[in-house]
A and B are shown apart, each in its own frame.
Chain A
Amino acid sequence: MGQFQVAMLEKLGAFAAWLFNPVSQLIFWPLLGCLIICLIPPARLRAIRACALVFSGLGLGTSLLMLSGVPAGLAQLPFFAQFVPFRAGVPGFQFALDPEKYKWFAVQIGETQSFSVNWAAGVDGLSMPLLLLTTALCFLCVIWAQRRTERIRDFFALLLLLESALLGIFCALDYVLFYLFWEFMLIPMYFLIAGWGKDREKAPRAAIKFFIYTIAGSVFYLVAFIVLQIMSGAYSFNIGEILSASLTGNLDYVAPGMRLLLFGGLLLGFAVKIPMFPFHTWLPDAHTEAPTEMSVILAGVMLKTGAYALLRILYSTLPGEAYQYGPIIAFCGVAAIVYGAAVTLVQTDIKRMVAYSSISHMGFIVLGISAMNMDSAIGASFHMVAHGVIIGALFFLCGAIEERYGTRDLHKLAGLLKAMPSYGFVLALAAFASMGFPLLAGFWGEFMILKGVFFNSPQWESVNVLGLDGSRYFQALAVVAVLGILATAVYMINMLQRVLPGEAPARATVQRGFRANEAPALLSLAAAMLLLFAVPGPLINSTTVYAAGLWQAWLQR
């Protein structure tokens, strides 16, 4: 064999390893589904539906296999060789390939400096639960959308493309790759809101608002991470490499003003997506106009990408600035909690109400992260998953109610318990979970966040905020945040009181039980709400290692 052949074989082997890598599979199954659906003639509805089901199912299956590993027999096959069981308590990334071997492109500047953009992707305890949430919610959305008949080829293709991009964000370990996925998720989302929204006039406007707002934020992120990479002197855009450069002091020479600009740029990019107060106004509009499935993914997964990016990138790479401006960010979080809850109180559109409530809950996650504490970081990442489950169920129910009643006006909704008792039960469950009620999923996240913010913030003692000792300031914030939970109890009870009892209109009483396409989503999410309270251990353990690492870095800051 000649040298060329050997080189070619090596390349082929590396390519196969890349293709069979679980992370690549996870990202590419939905993408492949998207491509295949595009090839099916639009009139073949059943084929399109089946294809979407299969490929989003493959995404879910891959994420489950990553968690559990494959049986020993299957592990012999090269296709499954890399599916080792996920280990939750281990630091570092799993399923990751050596990024140096998978250079996308490299740029040489002069003799000495060069940098490359690599395929760096992996999974750790922080991202694994979010991946599961994403694949599960997308699969449930595909099942939910099985009843659609209008332009479903485009719908499913875009939905699978969106899933692929979302999974990419949670796996990407390279700034450029992250940015690509980050921007790429906007495009299908834009078309899905604009094209399948309820109102032909308003939906495109809401979609444009969402698109421009988020892209305006991510431009700052783009500039900031390029400057960060150049200043850190790293040889690639690898998140870990720039992180270690920052932690070893390679960024110390940068002037404080410049560091603030870097921090602010990255923060702005993520803050719009979360959305942090006061960058939140795109969210209710987008939710009100989006089709049900898109609301679920938007609130259930897409908002979490912002919070995930805070934990993964911002707070780990620039802990000094995070510490310096932490009180301000925490204030924004609490403002979102209380202000969002207050605005929710007076909403009359059920979907808009749920949308505003998610602003309030995301504020909790921001508060948890900004307290820079192990407990609250664990709480924040727990709450990300729990909130994804709860808000997913709530939006699914909003969709079902809107379809049956033909309205979303809370003053006109009544009699859900009579017309659709099973839906009413899940609605009550989700509403109480959203209140952070013990016995349901929402409890542990808020519990851990309050625990961290209120009790375990000694590192803030040396900071003076508004004349207050920093830890006192955070304790005051935690107490104010409780007002938000209380307001949640008020608006959720108000909603239940309007929607559940009474007499339903005739059009709503067509079918009492679950519809076949809606049962899986509602039942599995309801089960998840109960399970996440009863068995929180795996999820807490999964994020503990990452949070402990952050905590050490924060303490040594």
Chain B
Amino acid sequence: MVNAQQAMLLLIPALPLLAGALLCANWRRVSPGLAGWTGAGSLAISGLLALRLWPTGATISLPWITLPDALSTAGRGQLSGMDIPLALSAGAAQLTFGASCAWVAALVVIYALRERQGDPAAARLLAQLTLFAGTMLLFVQADTTLILYAAWEAMGLLSYYLIAHHGTAGAKRAASQAFWTTRATDFGLLFALLLLLTRFGWATLSSIDLHRLILAVQEQGGETSGIFGILKLASFLVLLAVVGKAAQWPLSFWLSGAMVAPTPVSALLHAATMVAAGPFLLCQLHQLFLGTGEALAACVYVGSSTLVLCGLMACAARDAKQVLAYSTASQLGLAILGVGALAEEATVIQLTAHAWIKAALFLWAGYLASITPGHPTTLSGLAGALRGRTVQLSLFVLAALALAGLPFTGGALGKESIILALMTRAGASPDGTTLLAKAMPAAAGAWAFGALAGKLGLLITAAYLARLIFLLTRKPDQPSTAEPEPQPASAGWQAALAAAAALSLVGAIALSFALPAVRDALTDKGTQWKWQFGDPGRQFLPLSALAIGAGVLCAWLALRRRASRRGVLAWVAGYFADGMRLEQFWRSLVGAPAWVAAVWAARNDRQVIDGLVVGTGRFGRWLAGCSRWVDEHIVDGLRYWGCEVWWVLRRGHQRFLQTGYIQHYMFVVLLGAVVLCFVILRPLADIFGKIMGAI
């Protein structure tokens, strides 16, 4: 039976899942208030439960299915299978990230409750948000790899519904684009999990133990190179899935498209769920990356290119939500860099901090849009939104500084640890562990590259956040011509919005004090596979502060000189603002050819394949018509004309046969029969004789 801790573990994902499912099923009968508070309440309780279990954790494993195993069956000659349990587990990392997810999601749901007032489908959106967050919690706590995969896919599906919430053509297009992109890359995860299941029998995350596997192979005197080959393949497949899900370059286009969704959806999608699931999956499966330098290098290159390129896109973006969207991709790139540097605990910290801060920024952006006439999200529309609002401005700047990773804020610890880890790896000698020594030469160059990109990322992050703040505070170019819309209903809900946004910010700031404790909890469970690295940041902090300052300066200079309005620079800025035209690229590379092929196939099916079938039938009918013609005109005609000719030639000459005596007639018949016998039976008898002879 389950004990109290296991029950709590079960409840963490089960509460919001159940609440969300029930609300989704009855959303027409439920008021938005009930839906919102139920959803947020269940999520908040889940977060509390996660905190209650922290940091010791718990595991639960229930029997589920036994899959037959073909290879071992063939090997042993008897039926054998592998058990796949229904297992959840909660380590320090899972609980840290899970609790943050739950609370951030609860705040987002409360925010959405106020923001979506007047939306007839508000209850549905709130229910779906709760369900979505529940799915994320299931993903975080899942131990069975198949459950993990199911939750991963379910998130993709729910994101489709959330993005398409408005129901416009653009929303549907963005939603299906997001769904198809992530679904396509998800097969990487499926194949990777299948590979682990079939080759090593790893059905749960907790059963993944590279050390034991290698020892077992070495004990049997086997070669470990085969294992590393499989691990390399599996880690590349996982990375593929993560690139899709976490919107990494060059698949980052779907995330900016998904900005058509309501602000709470964007906040949840970006902050705590869905995209953050990608790097978290890498942390969960980090063992696969040990000992395969190429996969680590790939992680580093993917992470650094996304960090820099998506950062540049954020610098050039024309819409406040787009800035934050590209920033998300970029920050997750940094998290993936962390996995590439084998600093998965730093990655978890970066993800947790990012969840809080990004939610705060999104909610603030949504709040600012909601108090501006016309509710714009473009930067030109929002220009001056923070002007004269000192409290709002200072909170927003605080959040931005935290995201930029200013030393001693919530965002700094993870970032500094990741960059430090990269530097240490790049410069340090292997610590003698065979696995890492194996990985070293392949990844050493990548680590140096990653450290550089990390520092550059700090600068770029500071630049786009500074640009955002400058634009939000500067004087509008021209006074807004739009009729000022009536301000939202009451000051009460404005306060509620601000409170939700502020609360998430407070959470982010509070986190900066809690994070060292979190880091200690994470590294304490560390195995021998981890490198301990010293208290990070101290010696590099000035450098980071310098990079951030330089970023701010760049933004200021660029805005001051209006560089983006002229010449090559303008073209480059436009190119990045359009997300490097990645969407068009993929559309013409994949979408258009697929569509042409489909049209061709459909035509081919009608005209060629079915044409052959129908043609065979027509040919048969034509053949039948021919034989009928031959029958009517030739066979029948011959008989007719033969008789006619005979009659004309021998007119009257046969009268002698018609004697009227029956015996004469019988004689003629007999004669005919004898002739027939000789004509027909002789050859038959010959054939029969030959057959008998042959036998």
- Which residue numbers of A lie inside 8 Å of B, CB to CB? 209, 212-213, 278, 280-282, 339, 342-343, 345-347, 373-375, 378, 421, 432, 435, 437-439, 443, 447-448, 450-452, 454-456, 458, 482, 485-487, 489-490, 493-494, 497, 501-502, 536-537, 540-541, 544-545, 547-548, 551-552, 555
Contact = CB atoms under 8 A, between A and B. Distances in A.
Interface string B513-539: 000000000000000000000000000
Given A346-B602, A438-B150, A438-B153, A482 B187 contact: yes
A278 B71 CA distance: 33
Interface in B45-84: 64-71, 73-74, 77, 79, 81
Interface in B598-636: 598-599, 601-602, 605, 609-610, 613-614, 617
Given A374-B73, A455-B194, A455-B195, A343 B598 contact: yes
Given A212-B617, A347-B602, A458 B198 contact: no
A410 B154 CA distance: 26
A501 B167 contact: yes
B157 interface: yes
Nearest to B153: A438
Contacts of B195: 455
Contacts of B67: 448, 540
Contacts of B157: 432, 437
B180 A493 contact: yes
Contacts of A447: 190, 194
Nearest to B620: A212
B183 interface: yes
Given A375-B70, A482-B187, A540-B67, A493 B160 contact: yes
A485 B187 CA distance: 10
B595 interface: yes
Contact of A342 (B68, B71, B153, B602): B602
A270 B262 CA distance: 52
Contacts, number: 123
A477 to B, nearest CB: 14
A455 B199 CA distance: 8
A448 B190 CA distance: 12
18 contacts: A209-B617, A281-B605, A345-B594, A345-B595, A346-B595, A438-B146, A438-B153, A447-B190, A448-B67, A482-B187, A486-B180, A486-B183, A493-B176, A497-B172, A536-B65, A537-B65, A541-B66, A551-B74
Contacts of A451: 194, 197-198
B620 to A, nearest CB: 9
B70 A456 contact: yes
A90 to B, nearest CB: 12
A441 B361 CA distance: 40
Given A342-B601, A448-B67, A493-B176, 18 more contacts: A278-B609, A342-B598, A345-B595, A346-B602, A347-B602, A374-B70, A378-B68, A437-B153, A439-B150, A450-B194, A452-B70, A454-B191, A454-B194, A485-B187, A486-B183, A493-B180, A541-B66, A544-B79
Interface string B325-364: 0000000000000000000000000000000000000000
B68 A374 contact: yes
Contacts of B190: 447, 450
B597 interface: yes
Nearest to B71: A456
Q: Which of B70, B81, B179, B180 has the most CB of A within 10 A?
A: B70
B236 to A, nearest CB: 14
B191 A342 contact: no
Contacts of B81: 544
A373 B198 CA distance: 14
A552 B70 CA distance: 10
Contact of B74 (A282, A421, A437, A555): A555
Nearest to B187: A482
Main secondary structure of the interface of A (DSSP, over half): helix
A209 B628 CA distance: 23
Interface centre among A343, A450, A486, A545 (most CB of B within 10 A): A343
A343 B71 contact: no
A186 to B, nearest CB: 17
Contacts of A552: 74, 77
Given A432-B157, A439-B150, A346 B599 contact: yes
Contact of B68 (A343, A547, A555): A547
Nearest to B135: A439
A455 B601 CA distance: 30
Contacts of A347: 602
Q: SS class of chain B's interface: helix, strand, loop or mixed?
A: helix
A489 B602 CA distance: 18
B149 interface: yes
B618 to A, nearest CB: 12
Contacts of A544: 68, 79, 81
A312 to B, nearest CB: 19
B184 interface: yes
B602 A375 contact: no
B149 A282 contact: no
A281 B68 contact: no
Contacts of B167: 501-502
Contacts of A213: 613
B79 A545 contact: yes
Nearest to A458: B71
Nearest to A545: B79
Among all A-B residue pairs, the 6 with the closest Cβ atoms: A438-B150, A374-B70, A345-B598, A281-B610, A342-B601, A455-B198
Nearest to B169: A497
A374 B69 CA distance: 8
Contacts of B28: 421
A439 B167 CA distance: 25
A473 B180 CA distance: 27
Interface string B165-202: 00100001000100110011001001100110111000
Contacts of B184: 486
B602 A540 contact: no
Nearest to B611: A281
Contacts of B183: 435, 486, 489
Contacts of A437: 153, 157
A132 to B, nearest CB: 19
A497 B176 contact: yes
Contacts of B595: 345-346
B69 to A, nearest CB: 8
A245 B199 CA distance: 37
A485 B153 CA distance: 14
A452 B74 CA distance: 13
A375 B198 CA distance: 11
Contact of B179 (A439, A489, A537): A489
B70 A343 contact: no
A551 B70 contact: yes
Q: Identify which of A345, A438, A454 gathers the most chain B CB atoms within 10 Å of its CB.
A: A438
A436 B70 CA distance: 22
Contacts of A551: 70, 73-74
Contacts of B617: 209, 212
Contacts of A541: 66
Given A345-B595, A374-B73, A486-B183, A438 B154 contact: yes
Most buried by B among A347, A421, A489: A489
B598 A346 contact: yes
A339 B65 contact: no
B179 A493 contact: yes
A197 B677 CA distance: 56
B178 to A, nearest CB: 11
A349 B73 CA distance: 46
Contacts of A378: 68
Contacts of A278: 609
Contacts of A489: 179-180, 183
Interface in B425-463: none
Contacts of A547: 68
Contacts of A342: 594, 597-598, 601-602
A84 to B, nearest CB: 23
A375 B601 contact: no
